[in-house]
Amino acid sequence: MSRLSEMVVALAEKLRYRWNLLVRYQDAPFGPELQEAWNHRYELFSRFDEGIQTDAIGLYSVTPEKTAKEIADRLKGLTVVDAFCGIGGNTIAFAAVCPKVYAVDLDKQRLSKARHNAGIYNRSNIEFIAGDFLQLASTLTADAVYLDPPWGGPSFRHKPAFYLNDFSQDGRQLLELSFRHFRLVVLRVPEQFVFDELNQFGRPYEVQDNLLHGRVISKTIYFV
């Protein structure tokens, strides 16, 4: 995308966000610290008002719809394990372009919200699996695995640098396990992630900047 079209997209996103804030403002149901995330709910799910379900963790950790689509477009046509599916932001986007998605989450209640949310988007090619991805990895067969492990709560923003061991699951162990079982491994990281750490794996990778409102909100690493 050219710089000019990026700027136009960013402006359109900002205007849509301001408009929603003006006409659809609501106090966040999970307290003032999640007001900002709640204000962005229509960017998280464009069909939010059709009955999207979330809890507090799901709300602040879900991948915005635009970003989820950008990531899914890179995995189009492949079978995918969404190893940390949360309330289903990525799962729903994968299911739109991938023949089969295995959506895994440790938290049964969050997984059931993901199932419900996928129903709102009429996605039926998803198998939801409750459990620990680290235990389940060897039992799953797919072309690709998408890793979006917790970043340690909203405080990750205050870290000047983010390392593999800052994920709530040790990132190094997670990657090694994933390299053993899947041909294509994809990892979503915060903007301040330290890429030098990836040299130890000796695997080539490409990085996608995920922009929202013209700002990088995350980076997605595709190990090829």
Q: What is the DSSP string of 11-64?
A: HHHHHHHHHHHHHS----TT-GGGHHHHHTHHHH-TTGGGT----HHHHHHSPP
The amino acid at 204: P
Burial of 184 (0-12, 13-18, 19+ CB in 10 A): middle
The residue (of 90 and 210) whose beta carbon lies closer to ligand SAM is 90
CA distance 61 to 44: 10
Residue with Cβ nearer ligand SAM (127 or 132): 132
CB of residue 177 to ligand SAM, shortest distance in Å: 11
Residue 210 touches ligand SAM, criterion: CB under 6 A: no
> Residue 88 interacts with ligand SAM (CB under 6 A)?
yes
| Sole binder of ligand SAM in the list 81, 87, 185, 189 (CB under 6 A) | 87
CB of 3 to ligand SAM, least distance (A): 28
Smallest gap from Cβ 152 to ligand SAM, in A, equals 10
How far is it, in rounded angstroms, from Cα 206 to Cα 91?
21
Distance CA 64, CA 20 (A): 15
**Which residue's CB is nearer to ligand SAM, number 96 or number 134?**
134
Is the CB of 89 or the CB of 171 nearer to ligand SAM?
Answer: 89
Please name which of 74, 68, 91, 64 lies closest in space to residue 184, comparing C-alpha atoms: 74
Minimal distance, residue 220 CB to ligand SAM, in Å: 11
Instruction: Number of residues interacting with ligand SAM: please give it, by CB under 6 A.
Output: 22
Strands (DSSP E) contained in the chain are: 80-82, 101-105, 126-130, 144-147, 184-189, 205-212, 215-223
Q: Kindly indicate which of the ranges 32-40, 55-63, 120-128, 206-214 contains the residues binding ligand SAM, using the contact rule CB under 6 A.
A: 55-63
The footprint of ligand SAM on residues 98-157 (CB under 6 A) is: 104-107, 110, 132-134, 148-150
Cβ 128 to ligand SAM shortest distance, Å? 12
Residue 25 CB, nearest distance to ligand SAM (Å)? 24
Strand 144-147 relative to strand 184-189: parallel, antiparallel, unpaired? Answer: parallel
How far out from the chain centre does Cα 136 lie?
Answer: 20
Chain contacts with ligand SAM (rule: CB under 6 A): 61-63, 84-90, 104-107, 110, 132-134, 148-150, 169
